[in-house]
A and B are shown apart, each in its own frame.
Chain A
C-alpha cells in the first residue's frame, strides 16, 4: 500500500511540471487579456527545440533555448492579436496547426519520422539519506523542473497579487482603458505577457522532452496543452488555482498509469478512456456550476484600440 502511494506521488511529480508550466503560461496570457488556446502548439515548439538543441549542447542550456523558441512562437500570436487585432482564438488555433505540421516537417527532415535521437536527460538530484525514508523517498530523484514548478506557481501568485507589476497586468486584463489613463503601456504589457506565456509553455514542452522522457516524440504534447487550458479554467484563472488543478490532473494521470501497470484488472471496471476523459469532464462540470459568475478577466479576447476609447 505504502509502495503504491509512493509510486503515485513519484509519477505525479514526474508528470506535473510540464502541465503546471503550461497552465501558468496560459494564466499569464489570459490575465493580461489575450486568449491563448495556442498553448498546445507553443509546447510542441518548445519540446522539439529543447530536444534538438540538447544534441549539441548541455541539456539545461537547451531547455532555455526551448523556452526561447516557445516565446518566439508566441510572439507571432502577440503580433497577430495585439498589433493586428486578429481574432485571438483563430490565431491560437492557427498556431496549433502550424506547430503540428511544421514540427512534423522539421522532425522528418532532421531526424526521421517518429522520434528524435535520445539525449542526456536533465540531472536528477537525490536527497542522500532522505532517499531511504519511506514516503519521502518519492520526493527524491526528480529534476530541478519539478521543484521549479512549485516555486514558480507561488512566486507567480505573489507577483500577480501583491506587486505593482501584478496589479498592472490584472488591470490590463480587466479594464485596459482605465489602466491606460493612469499611464500603463497596455500594448507593451500585453506583448510581454503573451511572450512570457509562450516561454512558460515552451518550458512545459521542454520538460516533456528532457525530463519526463529523453527525446522528442512525434505526437508531443498529445493534447497536454489543451489540458493546461482546462487547468487554467478549472483553477479560475488564478496561478495557485491553475497549479492545483494541474497537479490534480497530473495525479489523475499517475493513477491511470499506475492502475494500468500494477492492477490491470481495475481497467475492466474503470476503463482507461474514462479516466483520461475525467479532467475535461470535471472542468466542464465546474464551469456549468459556476454559470454566469465566471472568473474570466473582463477584457479577455478584446483587442485594445487606443483610438476607440
Chain B
C-alpha cells in the first residue's frame, strides 16, 4: 500500500544518491542551498508583514467573514468548503496574501481538517496569475495578453475542482 509519509524520505534518499553519483560535496551543496532558502524567506518577510497586517485587519473587522458568506454558496455548489473563500480569491492576486489566508484556515479549522488540506492543495497547485502575467508580458514588451489570462483562470478553477474532488469529506 502506498504511504504518503514515504514521499519526503524517498525524495531525500534520491537527492543524496544523485549527489553521491555526481561526486559532489553533498554537505556543502546542502548548506549553500539552505542559505539560499533562508535568504528567500527573509526576502519574503516584508511582503508578508504587509499582507498579514492587511489580512489580520480584514479578519478582525469581519470583512473576510462577509466574503465567505458571499462566496460560500458558490464554493459549496462546487463541493468545496466555504472557509477557503479568502484563499480562492487571493491566490491569483498575491502569493503572500494567499499564504497568510492559508495560514488562517489552518489555524481556525485545524491543519488536518478538510478545509485546511484543500486550501493547501489549491495554493500549492496554482500561481499568482496576474503578477506572473504582468512580469512576463512586461519582459517581452507586450501590451496585449491575448487569451492567456482567461485561460489561466479557467485552468485555476479546474485545479480547484480537482482539489475538492480528491480530498473527500
Mutual binders A and B: no
Q: Which residues of A contact B (CB under 8 A)?
A: none
